[in-house]
Chain A
Amino acid sequence: MAASSRARVLDLYRAMLRESKQFSAYNYRTYAIRKIRDAFRENKNVKDPVEIQTLVNKAKRNLEIIHRQVHIGQLYSTDKLIIENQEKPKT
């Protein structure tokens, strides 16, 4: 049970990061990637299964939000920021 829920959480983590890298706006993209990493790291020692489930549900909702907003951002995308040409793309 613990093993599968760990695998589930990791899958969710990877899915969220994968989706966030698709944001066409630099600031949204970097924020989402950073926030996802920080939030999962902060909660990595949570043991209570009820709390874990709550967090997983929240993450699933956020994944859906990211998915929609990535899509909208791509529909209305514009030019890159001056900084995006110089730094290595954060993928």
Chain B
Amino acid sequence: MLLRTAWRRVAAALPAAPGPRPEAPTRGLRLRVADHAPQSAVPSDTAIAPEMESVLRPLYMDVQATTPLDPRVLDAMLPYLVNYYGNPHSRTHAYGWESEAAMERARQQVASLIGADPREIIFTSGATESNNIAIKELEDAIQPDTSLVSIMSVNNEIGVKQPISEIGQICSSRKVYFHTDAAQAVGKIPLDVNDMKIDLMSISGHKIYGPKGVGAIYIRRRPRVRVEALQSGGGQERGMRSGTVPTPLVVGLGAACEVAQQEMEYDHKRISKLAERLIQKIMKSLPDVVMNGDPVHHYPGCINLSFAYVEGESLLMALKDVALSSGSACTSASLEPSYVLRAIGTDEDLAHSSIRFGIGRFTTEEEVDYTVEKCIYHVKRLREMSPLWEMVQDGIDLKSIKWSQH
């Protein structure tokens, strides 16, 4: 929260001067950094300080919050934003037909990634809407013995992988519906709705290098899972989700799924190596660092570390050159420690010191090394300033201290 208000002030204070490339309109927040390397003078007619200042963007290490579009996805979408703009539900002309064909092709691409039939994929505005549809289903199931188990496949804060196959087995044998929010898992770990006996699955576009504002819900047909529509209207998407299907967005989602299927193994191998590198380098140089979450059943691209005796928010602010988060974006507005960390039994003070590092398809070794270097530097610096750290160094057991009330 403090971080955001600081950024707003910086953004407001930036003079409307052209950047190093006068033709490109300046957008987005930039960091003002003292220049290390000699550069040509920045053309500007407002009076800036005489020392060379360049504006550089931070590294992006927050892929759990959202991912950049893969260029292949944007390439697939653009034709539908420029020329092929028909409504896919228009039955009477070529614009409608070509848009519908693209929508169905995308549906097949999504289905193929999770081992489903295309008729089982309904497009939505995102995983949140899909989750709501799945949960609403529970209320309208009527039979007293029907219930629903809903599990995240991969946790977005600590990266833990749930034993989906095992849970699916249990649910299927007890005739209980099984829903999983696979937003962080789809396209990253192999998922098969039949092998894992999944009845409902939520998919999010912008977590798999696809566009924001689109997702899908997988709804099993055999045996039939009945859902109630959240959104009523013209009866699109088999009546389960009315509203014009946004062809450019679903084409993007489909392309993202297809690319993910092709790249899954290559990405997983690379991300695992980078994750290993990050963890080893940090653990080697800093004591009292805890990795949150099961180390074995873990998706490598989501690393949540607690740095004892350092406040998470201070560390985040210090690491201003790197885009990081201390928990999930959905709860970042509040200052409460993560409910996930609390649930796994993390000590209150360690929960406040947690940082989440996200490694994705486009993360480079240089970015990991830079992040590690800055992290080590700032943790050491913040610990030097911490009286708690000093006491620990002197051998005092913090848990034995009786703090006085004021």
Q: Which residues of A contact B (CB under 8 A)?
A: 26-28, 30-32, 35, 38, 65-66, 68-69, 72-73, 76-87
Q: How far is the CA of A81 from the CA of B19 in the complex (A)?
A: 14
Q: Can you name the residue of chain B whose Cβ is closest to the Cβ of A85?
A: B37
| Residues of chain B at the chain A interface (Cβ within 8 Å) | 19-21, 24, 26-28, 30-31, 33, 35-37, 54-60, 68, 71-72, 74-75, 78, 266, 321, 361-364, 366-367, 370
Given A77-B21, A83-B367, A87-B366; 15 other pairs, CB 8 A cutoff: A26-B364, A28-B71, A28-B362, A32-B71, A65-B75, A72-B78, A78-B27, A78-B28, A79-B30, A79-B57, A82-B58, A82-B370, A83-B59, A85-B37, A86-B36
Which applies to chain A's interface (DSSP): helix, strand, loop or mixed?
Answer: helix
A68 touches B362 (CB 8 A): no
Q: Are B370 and A69 in contact (CB under 8 A)?
A: no
> Judging by beta carbons under 8 Å apart, are B71 and A69 in contact?
yes
Which of A69, A82, A84 neighbours the largest number of chain B CB atoms within 10 Å of its CB? A82
Query: Is B56 touching A65 in the complex (CB atoms < 8 A)?
Result: no
Note all chain B residues with C-beta closer than 8 A to A78. Answer: 24, 26-28, 57
Cα A30 to Cα B57 with chains together (Å): 16
CB-based contact A30/B362 at 8 Å = yes
Residue in A closest to B24 when the chains form the complex, CB atoms: A77
**B210 to A: closest C-beta gap in Å:** 15
Contact B362 A82 (CB under 8 A): no
CA distance A66 to B321 in the complex (A): 28
A72-B26 Cα distance, complex, nearest whole Å: 16
In angstroms, Cα B35 to Cα A84, docked, is 12
For A64, the closest partner residue in chain B by CB is B75
Contact, CB under 8 Å: A38 / B367: no
Q: What is the bound-complex CA distance between A65 and B31, given in angstroms?
A: 31
Are A66 and B71 touching (Cβ within 8 A)?
A: yes
Q: In the bound complex, do residue B27 and residue A69 qualify as a contact, i.e. CB atoms below 8 Å apart?
A: no
CA distance A89 to B274 in the complex (A): 21
| CB pair B366 A38 closer than 8 Å | no
Q: How far is the CB of B271 from chain A (nearest CB, A)?
A: 12
Q: Distance in Å from the Cβ of B106 to the closest Cβ of chain A?
A: 17
Which has the most chain A C-beta neighbours within 10 Å: B28, B57, B58, B74? Answer: B57
Chain B's nearest CB lies how many Å from the CB of A26?
A: 8
CA distance A65 to B366 in the complex (A): 26
- How far, in whole Å, are A84 and B57 apart by their CA atoms in the complex? 10
CB < 8 Å neighbour of B56 from A31, A66, A79: A79
